[in-house]
Structure 1
Amino acid sequence: MNPLSTMDCGRRWLTTTGTNPPRRVVEVGDELTADEALRLAVSGTGLAWHGDFQNARNLLSALGRRCAPTAGKSFQDQRNRQARRARILGRLLVPLEPGHVLRLRRGPDVRDACTEVYGPSETPSLVSLRELLGVIGAHEWRVKGVQIPALDAKIHPHYGVFSPVRGEYVDLVARTPLPTKELVFDIGTGTGVLAAVLAHRGVERVVATDSEPRALACARENFERLGFEGIETLETDLFPPGRAPLIVCNPPWLPARAHTPLERAVYDPGSRMLNAFLDRLPRHLTPGGEAWLILSDLAELLDLRPREQLTTAFARAGLEVRGRVDVRPRHPRATDPRDPLHAARAKEVTSLWRLAAG
């Protein structure tokens, strides 16, 4: 092994998670054992791989098995263990040449996938193999798309934008009777799937908002693919200017800290987005208007947020519940006993709350 500092590598550090590069990096190859790799990674050392790409993937799998998190006493304990495991696995690194060229034996062509996420590259770089595999997988999803039965078409998610693989919340928006077809605000649009469903149902004007430029770029591309070029998009914190007779929001469901940009679609520290949406909602509903809040009860099942806290937030904002439509999840984790959260997921219910200003 040839030790060198990250600066001595002369390579740009690529990351979408904001993590710092390892202070110490050693060059390693096919001769490195999984046990030695684990020892180095646990100590904080980065492992710059110069062997066969498929062997690097095998090593990453072996490391994953060796530091698989055991069940935590609480949800937060489980999250902390998962974060530690992610840090360890993130220390197996892959060098890229200018233009995001991967020169490892049996390595795939990653140029398009990396350019989509990191932009053009004119210098050598270093990236976590775990992140690179995520980038490759996201590119494949972006090309292949996710079939949405309610649209009879596909949505193409970008890297860092939550994929609509949990179809039950989409079905709720597709099947609940519309109180209006005049104007709808879609708050936190993400891939744009709910805005597209609303337009598909005949809503004349949809305004889709998000605070993430990456999400808005994804949504615009999907609207163009689907022929919904009239959907308006706006980068803003929650609401666009004005009022609407129907406002739809599918906020992050769990009040916990996100560890990656993608997790921001799932985790909402302190329920900040949810509370801000509810508190400001009455000022953006037209008289007699309605809001659809799509929310899972997983936070309640994990003892992260009691139901009373949600109903109290409704009352604080002066909102009344006109009705609620429930659905059981159909995704694989709901029936997978190996999932650390299986006991909660097996009981989970996703609801569309119909809210109105009192």
Structure 2
Amino acid sequence: MSTIHWTESNTNSNTQRHAARWHFESSTPPPRTVVSADDRIKADTAYRLACEGTGLLWRGDYHNARQLLGSLSRRIERRTTRRPTQKPTLQDGTPAALFHLHRRSRSHRARVLGRLLVLLEDGYRLELRRAPEVRRACAEAYGPWSGPMVVPLTELLGVIGAHQWRTKGVRVPALGARIHPHYGVFSPVRGEYVDLVAQAPLPPPCATAFDLGTGTGVLAAVLARRGVGRVVATDSSVRALACARDNVRRLHLTGCVDIGGSGLFPAGRANLVVCNPPWLPARPTSAVEQGVYDPGGSMVHGFLTGLTAHLEPGGEGWLILSDLAELLGLRARGELLAGIEAAGLRVVDRIDTRPRHRRAADTTDPLHAARAAEVTSLWRLTHT
């Protein structure tokens, strides 16, 4: 646990030294220097200090802090869209180069915006003028109160947004119901992969299914609603397991869905093993990014190499995977097929769908060409 320190003047103009634990869901370390800031600070000054790595502990109006975030964001945007002073290399225009440049740009943006800080005091109380009530949202995200903590305002906004998602839920047409994502758990807003699992033919018989990396539990719920007698779901994230249990309870499926442990595969064998792994082989920088990025494609590899040992005779493994990594040049097109063959598996069928999310139609996205061409597939695999 990291601690940050700062000094402030009290009503008698005496300087007092303060300390609180640092919390940031990303891998960004705490700022070495922290200064107090309020409504009087100029945006240019705040931007310069943030770029230098100085943390700005906000003591002014809450809504003014949000406006300052917008000003910092616009300054970052102007900087990143300036015409480069160096001539591009031969590889600058490749999809992989654009992807890594995009990631670096987003990382820089998150790092600079993450220097605007707020203090959460007794019971996650936010003592700022016109501040919203955040105690319940913070307790849901962070657990029981354990002392004062400093977080970036961007993270607190994410916590507030996650509370709203958790309260209202995300409608899943394949379920005819809502799934309620928790903070730090990837939300099932991309319905195409859920529809694939809802429509693919189940292997006969299908008394038992495993859902690997269950997240919110949405696929486990879909399988149970389709009539699978027993579904066992696993995930490496404690937050995901709690989220999946909550959703299974809300959907009245506790009698047929068992939310298991943190290993990839549960013990035993099943007629069907479903895996919707992170699609991009890159390093995640926050908890929620673990639903998108998987270093080296380790989860895909673990699923393929372990599948035959966990399938009943005649059973199937369903791998739901986008080809975005291939379109971006992050994975060779033949790599997946080679992995399937090496694991002693064969392809029964492949069901494809096209993306329906907003980014696929956003021509301003630097990765638009790849996103527009993306295909998500459900690979039906069985023993050779």
Q: TM-score, normalised by structure 1?
A: 0.96
Which residue number in structure 1 is paired with residue 191 of structure 2? 167
Structure 1 residue 10 corresponds to structure 2 residue 36: no
**SS of match in other structure, 1:208:** strand
Structure 1 residue 300 corresponds to structure 2 residue 309: no
**SS of match in other structure, 2:159:** helix
In 1, Cα distance between the equivalents of 2:338 and 2:81? 36
Residues 5 and 23 in structure 1, CA contact (< 8 A), matched pair in contact too: no
Equivalent position to 2:168, from 144, 164, 167: 144
**SS of match in other structure, 2:260:** strand
Structure 1 residue 34 corresponds to structure 2 residue 43: yes
In 2, Cα distance between the equivalents of 1:312 and 1:22? 45
Equivalent position to 1:23, from 2, 17, 32: 32
Amino acid at match of 2:175: L
**SS of match in other structure, 1:10:** strand
* Deviation digits for residues 226-256 of structure 1 (CA, Å, limit 9, x no counterpart): 0001211112321001111110000000001
Correspondence 1:222-301 to 2 at 5 A = 222-230=247-255, 231-301=257-327
| Greater Cα shift, 174-183 or 51-60 | 174-183
**SS of match in other structure, 2:126:** coil
Structure 1 residue 63 corresponds to structure 2 residue 72: yes
Correspondence 1:168-247 to 2 at 5 A = 168-179=192-203, 180-230=205-255, 231-247=257-273
Distance 1:242-1:122 versus aligned 2 partners, 3 A rule: closer
In 1, Cα distance between the equivalents of 2:281 and 2:7? 38
Query: Any gaps of 5 or more consecutive residues in structure 2?
Result: 9-15, 83-91
In 1, Cα distance between the equivalents of 2:36 and 2:145? 22
Residues 14 and 118 in structure 1, CA contact (< 8 A), matched pair in contact too: no
In 2, Cα distance between the equivalents of 1:157 and 1:70? 34
Which residue number in structure 2 is paired with residue 54 of structure 1? 63
Query: Any gaps of 5 or more consecutive residues in structure 1?
Result: none
Which residue number in structure 1 is paired with residue 136 of structure 2? 112
* Deviation digits for residues 193-236 of structure 1 (CA, Å, limit 9, x no counterpart): 00000001111100001111110000000000000012111123
**SS of match in other structure, 2:189:** coil
Q: TM-score, normalised by structure 2?
A: 0.90
Amino acid at match of 2:54: T
Residues 98 and 367 in structure 2, CA contact (< 8 A), matched pair in contact too: no
Distance 1:128-1:181 versus aligned 2 partners, 3 A rule: same
| Greater Cα shift, 98-107 or 6-15 | 6-15
In 2, Cα distance between the equivalents of 1:123 and 1:263? 27
* Deviation digits for residues 33-78 of structure 1 (CA, Å, limit 9, x no counterpart): 1111110001110000011111101111111111134497431222
Deviation at 1:175, TM superposition (A): 0.8
In 1, Cα distance between the equivalents of 2:17 and 2:44? 26
* Deviation digits for residues 293-345 of structure 1 (CA, Å, limit 9, x no counterpart): 00001001101112201111111111100000001111111111122211111
How many residues are paired up?
356
**SS of match in other structure, 1:221:** helix
**SS of match in other structure, 1:11:** strand
In 2, Cα distance between the equivalents of 1:165 and 1:281? 28
| Greater Cα shift, 11-20 or 108-117 | 11-20
**SS of match in other structure, 1:108:** coil
CA RMSD of aligned residues (A): 1.7
Correspondence 1:93-104 to 2 at 5 A = 93-104=117-128
In 2, Cα distance between the equivalents of 1:244 and 1:126? 46
**SS of match in other structure, 1:184:** strand
Deviation at 1:18, TM superposition (A): 4.3
Residues 22 and 151 in structure 2, CA contact (< 8 A), matched pair in contact too: yes
Which residue number in structure 2 is paired with residue 155 of structure 1? 179
Deviation at 1:272, TM superposition (A): 1.0
Larger radius of gyration: 2
